[in-house]
Amino acid sequence: GDQPRGILSWIANTQRSSYYMMNIDGHNLYRLNYPLRLNKWYHSCQSWNGRTGEWQIWVNDERVGRGFNNR
């Protein structure tokens, strides 16, 4: 059956690198480098389908990443 899951998503943005990451139950699903600029606003959405393993990242109304990871 369906089990509760720990879902963690975050954005790193430093002068050296910037990326989006998602972690499900301690397992990294993806790390996607993305050219974020410091001191600029972004609208983003990260999603993951627990049945199919599909993940997507949208930034400012544009899909910038998509893949599958069923662990």
| 2: in domain | no
pLDDT tens-place string over residues 6-17: 889 999 998 889
Domain count, the chain: 1
pLDDT, residue 63, reads: 98
Give the range of the structural domain holding residue 55, as residue numbers without chain letter: 7-68
Residue 35 counted as domain residue: yes
More confident residue, 19 or 69: 19
Answer whether residue 31 is part of any domain. Answer: yes
| Cα 22-27-33 angle, rounded to 5 deg | 35
Residue 21 is assigned to a structural domain of this protein: yes
23, part of any domain: yes
The per-residue pLDDT for 70 is 67
Please count the CA atoms within 13 angstroms of the CA of 56 that sit on its side-chain side. 9
Cα 31 to chain centroid distance, Å, stands at 7
